[in-house]
Protein backbone atom coordinates (compact mmCIF):
# COMPACT_ATOMS: atom_id res chain seq x y z
CA UNK A 1 0.00 0.00 0.00
CA UNK A 2 1.78 3.07 -1.28
CA UNK A 3 0.77 6.58 -0.23
CA UNK A 4 1.73 9.30 -2.65
CA UNK A 5 2.94 12.76 -1.77
CA UNK A 6 -0.40 14.20 -2.91
CA UNK A 7 -2.20 11.91 -0.47
CA UNK A 8 -0.01 13.18 2.40
CA UNK A 9 -0.90 16.76 1.48
CA UNK A 10 -4.62 15.90 1.37
CA UNK A 11 -4.42 14.24 4.79
CA UNK A 12 -2.50 17.24 6.17
CA UNK A 13 -5.12 19.73 4.92
CA UNK A 14 -7.98 17.57 6.19
CA UNK A 15 -6.34 17.34 9.63
CA UNK A 16 -5.76 21.10 9.70
CA UNK A 17 -9.38 21.74 8.71
CA UNK A 18 -10.66 19.48 11.48
CA UNK A 19 -8.37 21.22 13.96
CA UNK A 20 -9.73 24.63 12.91
CA UNK A 21 -13.32 23.39 13.20
CA UNK A 22 -12.64 21.99 16.67
CA UNK A 23 -10.99 25.26 17.76
CA UNK A 24 -13.91 27.35 16.46
CA UNK A 25 -16.40 25.13 18.30
CA UNK A 26 -14.39 25.40 21.50
CA UNK A 27 -14.16 29.20 21.20
CA UNK A 28 -17.92 29.53 20.73
CA UNK A 29 -18.64 27.18 23.62
CA UNK A 30 -16.28 29.01 25.98
CA UNK A 31 -17.68 32.39 24.96
CA UNK A 32 -21.27 31.31 25.58
CA UNK A 33 -20.39 29.66 28.88
CA UNK A 34 -18.30 32.62 30.02
CA UNK A 35 -21.07 35.15 29.45
CA UNK A 36 -23.57 33.20 31.50
CA UNK A 37 -21.21 33.36 34.50
CA UNK A 38 -20.44 37.06 34.07
CA UNK A 39 -22.38 38.38 37.12
CA UNK A 40 -20.50 35.97 39.36
CA UNK A 41 -17.15 37.17 37.99
CA UNK A 42 -18.30 40.74 38.61
CA UNK A 43 -18.98 39.89 42.25
CA UNK A 44 -15.24 39.45 42.82
CA UNK A 45 -14.70 43.16 42.12
CA UNK A 46 -17.60 44.59 44.12
CA UNK A 47 -17.37 46.25 47.50
CA UNK A 48 -19.49 45.00 50.42
CA UNK A 49 -22.71 46.99 49.70
CA UNK A 50 -22.45 46.27 45.96
CA UNK A 51 -22.13 42.54 46.67
CA UNK A 52 -25.21 42.58 48.90
CA UNK A 53 -27.30 44.44 46.31
CA UNK A 54 -26.05 42.19 43.53
CA UNK A 55 -27.00 39.05 45.45
CA UNK A 56 -30.52 40.45 46.02
CA UNK A 57 -31.20 41.74 42.51
CA UNK A 58 -28.97 39.47 40.41
CA UNK A 59 -27.81 42.54 38.49
CA UNK A 60 -24.54 44.42 38.80
CA UNK A 61 -24.40 47.70 40.66
CA UNK A 62 -22.03 49.86 38.68
CA UNK A 63 -19.37 52.00 40.34
CA UNK A 64 -19.76 55.80 40.29
CA UNK A 65 -19.26 57.32 36.82
CA UNK A 66 -19.97 53.94 35.15
CA UNK A 67 -23.18 53.19 33.20
CA UNK A 68 -25.33 50.08 33.51
CA UNK A 69 -26.68 48.95 30.14
CA UNK A 70 -28.44 45.60 29.71
CA UNK A 71 -27.07 44.27 32.98
CA UNK A 72 -23.45 45.21 32.26
CA UNK A 73 -21.30 48.05 33.54
CA UNK A 74 -19.48 50.35 31.11
CA UNK A 75 -17.03 53.17 31.67
CA UNK A 76 -17.13 55.63 28.78
CA UNK A 77 -14.12 57.88 28.46
CA UNK A 78 -13.60 60.85 26.17
CA UNK A 79 -9.87 60.70 26.82
CA UNK A 80 -7.66 59.63 23.89
CA UNK A 81 -5.24 56.82 24.78
CA UNK A 82 -3.53 53.95 23.02
CA UNK A 83 -5.17 50.51 23.16
CA UNK A 84 -2.54 49.25 25.64
CA UNK A 85 -2.85 52.31 27.88
CA UNK A 86 -6.65 52.07 27.84
CA UNK A 87 -6.55 48.38 28.64
CA UNK A 88 -4.12 48.95 31.53
CA UNK A 89 -6.46 51.64 32.90
CA UNK A 90 -9.41 49.24 32.73
CA UNK A 91 -7.50 46.41 34.37
CA UNK A 92 -6.39 48.73 37.18
CA UNK A 93 -10.10 49.23 37.88
CA UNK A 94 -11.01 45.53 37.87
CA UNK A 95 -12.37 45.55 34.32
CA UNK A 96 -11.16 44.96 30.78
CA UNK A 97 -11.26 46.87 27.52
CA UNK A 98 -13.87 45.60 25.08
CA UNK A 99 -14.87 46.13 21.47
CA UNK A 100 -18.63 46.51 21.08
CA UNK A 101 -19.66 44.89 17.80
CA UNK A 102 -23.42 44.91 18.42
CA UNK A 103 -24.97 47.97 16.70
CA UNK A 104 -27.86 48.20 19.18
CA UNK A 105 -25.44 48.17 22.10
CA UNK A 106 -23.32 50.88 20.42
CA UNK A 107 -26.41 53.08 20.05
CA UNK A 108 -27.31 52.57 23.72
CA UNK A 109 -23.81 53.73 24.67
CA UNK A 110 -24.46 57.07 22.94
CA UNK A 111 -27.76 57.79 24.73
- Is 100 or 86 the better-scoring residue by pLDDT? 86
Enumerate the domain spans of the chain: 1-37, 42-109
Residue 59 burial by Cβ neighbours in a 10 Å radius (0-12, 13-18, 19+)? middle
| Choice among 17-21, 26-30, 77-81, 90-94 with the minimum mean pLDDT | 26-30
For 37-87, write each residue's pLDDT tens digit. Answer: 444 444 444 455 555 556 566 666 777 778 777 777 777 777 888 888 888
Burial of 108 (C-beta count, 10 Å sphere; 0-12/13-18/19+): middle
**What is the Cα–Cα distance from 35 to 61, expressed in whole angstroms?**
17
Identify whether the C-beta of residue 71 lies closer than 8 Å to the C-beta of residue 78: no
Amino acid sequence: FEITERRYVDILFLSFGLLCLTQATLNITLRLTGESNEPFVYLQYCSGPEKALMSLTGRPVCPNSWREIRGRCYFLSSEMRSWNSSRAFCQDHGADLVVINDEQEQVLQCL
